[in-house]
Amino acid sequence: MGTDVYSNDGIEQINMSDIRFSEDTIWHRWCENAEKSPDSVAIVHWKAGETPFCWTWGELMRTAQLYSAALTSRGINRGDVCAIIARHNCLLYPVYMGCVCAGAIPAILAYQNPRLHPDKFREGLEGMGKRSGLDWILTERALEGVLQPLLGTGRSTIKGLQFPFENNDYVEGVETQVPNGTVPTIRDSDPLLLQHSSGTTGLQKPVLLSHHAVLDHVTQYAKFLAVSKADKIVSWLPLYHDMGLIAAFHMPLALGIPTIQIDPFEWVLAPSLLLEAMSLERATMTWLPNFAFSMMADKIHEEDLDGVALDSCRMIISCSEPVRSRDQEKFFRRFAPRGFKREALSSCYAMAETTFAVTQTPPGREPATLTIDPQELAKGRAIPVAAPGVGKVCVSSGELIPACRIRIVDGDFNDVGEGRVGEVLIKTPWMFDGYRNYPEKTAAAILDGWYLSGDYGFQCGSEFYIIGRKKDVVIVAGNNIYPEDVEAALNDLNGVIPGRVVAFGEEDVELGSERISVVVETPLTDESQRRQLRMAIVKAGMGIDVSITDVYLVQPRFLVKSSAGKPSRTANKERVLRMKESSMTLQPEGIQDDLRRVKNSDSECAEA
């Protein structure tokens, strides 16, 4: 589609003080956008090889109200939790918004992975339903056979399945029930959405957020990012993840700027789609997990970039995992010839429990970096090194967004001071109140009004550096080893599938300490090549002063993934240890042939 459909003359800064209402809710914000600019584009639904489908504000809100009436007429009540499970579909947006209009609570969940057994998919939803209190599932007919067994068993809270994505039949006959301009009674304290923290299916923790929390957060975050009327958001991120749902969906819709939504599965197959959409739509902002920077730099072919220009991009924000300087540099060098600017590199620290962002690199400059002594870091001290080219390069996740607070504490919750590593504690005005129906997890996560993030990090000046997860740190002979560093050192080795490496600690009873183990996916089958790869892995560990004791070489698609799409250290550690304790034997230098022949009974772990 032509980019002039929703182009703006000049750059008009959004005045945040002008977008407050007597009833300050997400729904009323959407209504005002539709009233002011009914013909402006709200959402561009992008699919490879097809003409993008554009939702104007007027048509989007009219359709959302139709779906609201249809949902209500089919028994969905105010406060009901509606799980939305669908592939990339242009009707997902008005269905989601229709839930909000009806006073129901939408919860977007991941679509069934084809490699996951239907029984395991159902078990995950059953477990999630008991915690989250799922009432309805809005889905596609293709999943009816998989999901139908959830009903009437007495083990599930789910009342029924509904299929709003197939055609117009779902809303047929309800149009006359929707008076023009009807606005439901929605309060800012009402729940807006239910999102789930990252984790394997069934183990994700449900986070309930109000209209007030989401609207206040995106308003403050947009102000920090200096969002203007000329900005356009583009994203391939799944909407069941907070980065996709809050940053790339709710924020632009609340501000009345366009969001361009790409199919996540298509992006995985063709990463160039993001850059193609950014170029054609003249998009200005996007968010990416760190692994995507390296993946795009490595996997996008030059012929896929014909005609691509990235000069419109003012911010590509790394989020959801520790930021790697090498990956951002690789991305910049690869795409600078296409007009991508170094100052467009950015980073933030965010999570579902705080609605989204806590820290952010200010616009117009790349993230700060600090090169520190890795041996001192292992002892919990972030000490800069004097000699150039020596040390671990840490990338800042930015500065505090106004009204957010962070403490860095030791194991006794005492503040450790600048330059010392500790757990990150967070307090914000839009922080969650607790995990829904999960009092024990809530009690473990909140202390005197502070959220215990479980992340390790340190502060230097106004910058905050996140270096790893507390539960993943391996303590070897009194030194802290961060699995992220080990995995990064192995990712570029020949024979290693990039991004498919997991490092963790195994208890060494004889030494009274832990030892470092790695699970590495590789396509190599020749034993001499595998032996060379094991040696290269050990040498790469030595290069960062880490002794890798056990190397498990496994076939592609072995590793368990979390809902965020990243290999789960906990789940993969448990899997390997379970296999070691069974009849399958492992040797210190690698995994035996019988481990590569994974039993069908264990296949459900291949993808979560």
**Domain CATH number, residue 116:** 3.40.50.12780
pLDDT, mean over the chain: 86
486 burial (CB, 10 Å; 0-12 / 13-18 / 19+) is buried
Q: Is the confidence at residue 123, as pLDDT, over 50? A: yes
- Alpha carbon distance 349, 406 (integer Å): 11
Greater model confidence, 19 or 492: 492
* Token code pair at residue 62: 């009219």
| Whether residue 489 is found in the same domain as residue 378 | no
Position 22 scores a pLDDT of 44
Q: Is the confidence at residue 6, as pLDDT, over 60? A: no
Position 491 scores a pLDDT of 87
Q: pLDDT tier at 355 (50, 70, 90 boundaries)?
A: very high
Position 372 scores a pLDDT of 93
Flag whether 509 is in a domain: yes
| Whether residue 92 is found in the same domain as residue 227 | yes
Q: Which residue has the tokens 């450790």?
A: 416
Provide the residue range defining the domain that includes 418. 366-471
CA distances from 122 to 149, 150, 156, 160, 601 (A): 8, 7, 10, 14, 16
Q: Is 429:246 a contact under the CB 8 Å cutoff? A: no
* Token code pair at residue 143: 């999943």
Flag whether 328 is in a domain: no
Select from 30, 95, 107 the least CA-distant residue to 67. Answer: 95
SS3 443: helix
Q: Which residue has the tokens 């009327």?
A: 229
Q: pLDDT tier at 10 (50, 70, 90 boundaries)?
A: very low
- 367-383 pLDDT per residue, tens: 999 999 988 988 899 99
Q: Is the confidence at residue 133, as pLDDT, over 60? A: yes
* Token code pair at residue 272: 């160039």
Flag whether 456 is in a domain: yes
How many domains does the chain fold into? 3
Select from 293, 350, 361 the least CA-distant residue to 327. Answer: 293
Greater model confidence, 168 or 371: 371
Lowest mean pLDDT among 158-162, 274-278, 459-463, 479-483: 479-483
| Whether residue 47 is found in the same domain as residue 159 | yes
| Whether residue 110 is found in the same domain as residue 203 | yes
Greater model confidence, 434 or 287: 287
Query: Which CATH number is 413's domain given?
Result: 2.30.38.10
Flag whether 323 is in a domain: no
Q: pLDDT tier at 8 (50, 70, 90 boundaries)?
A: very low
- Average pLDDT rounded to a whole number, residues 88-97: 96
- Average pLDDT rounded to a whole number, residues 522-537: 91
| Whether residue 538 is found in the same domain as residue 554 | yes
- Alpha carbon distance 238, 531 (integer Å): 38
Q: Is the confidence at residue 445, as pLDDT, over 80? A: yes
Lowest mean pLDDT among 70-79, 570-579, 584-593: 584-593
| Whether residue 418 is found in the same domain as residue 507 | no
| Whether residue 586 is found in the same domain as residue 463 | no
| Whether residue 449 is found in the same domain as residue 583 | no
Whether pTM > 0.85 for this model: the answer is no
315-318/160-162 β-pairing: unpaired
What b/e string do you get for 500-532 counting C-beta neighbours within 10 Å, with b at 16 or more? Answer: bbbbbbeeeeeeeebbbbbbbbbebeeeeebee
Q: Is the confidence at residue 510, as pLDDT, over 60? A: yes
- Average pLDDT rounded to a whole number, residues 328-341: 97
Flag whether 164 is in a domain: yes
Q: Is the confidence at residue 560, as pLDDT, over 70? A: yes
What end-to-end distance do the CA atoms of the chain give, in Å? 36
- 384-408 pLDDT per residue, tens: 997 767 788 999 999 999 999 999 9
- Alpha carbon distance 228, 519 (integer Å): 45
Position 332 scores a pLDDT of 97
- Alpha carbon distance 64, 81 (integer Å): 17
Q: Is the confidence at residue 266, as pLDDT, over 60? A: yes
Greatest mean pLDDT among 153-157, 459-463, 509-513, 553-557 lies in: 459-463
Position 20 scores a pLDDT of 43
- 22-48 pLDDT per residue, tens: 468 999 999 999 999 999 999 999 988
* Token code pair at residue 414: 């005492």
- 245-263 pLDDT per residue, tens: 999 999 999 999 999 999 9
Select from 266, 272, 204, 277 the least CA-distant residue to 241. Answer: 204
Q: pLDDT tier at 553 (50, 70, 90 boundaries)?
A: very high
| Whether residue 391 is found in the same domain as residue 537 | no
Question: Using H for helix, E for strand and C for coil, what is the string for 353-374?
Answer: HHCCEEEECCCCCCCCEEEECH
Flag whether 80 is in a domain: yes
| Whether residue 80 is found in the same domain as residue 189 | yes
Q: Is 300:279 a contact under the CB 8 Å cutoff? A: no
* Token code pair at residue 585: 């034997």
Q: Is the confidence at residue 586, as pLDDT, over 50? A: no
Q: Which of 241, 269, 297 is the last residue of a domain?
A: 269
Position 447 scores a pLDDT of 93
Q: Is the confidence at residue 450, as pLDDT, over 80? A: yes
- 200-240 pLDDT per residue, tens: 444 578 999 999 999 999 999 999 999 999 999 999 999 99
- Alpha carbon distance 582, 576 (integer Å): 10
Flag whether 3 is in a domain: no
- 597-608 pLDDT per residue, tens: 333 333 333 333
- Alpha carbon distance 465, 459 (integer Å): 6
| Whether residue 169 is found in the same domain as residue 113 | yes
- Alpha carbon distance 472, 30 (integer Å): 41
Position 166 scores a pLDDT of 83
| Whether residue 381 is found in the same domain as residue 248 | no
Paired with 207 in beta bridges are: 195, 435
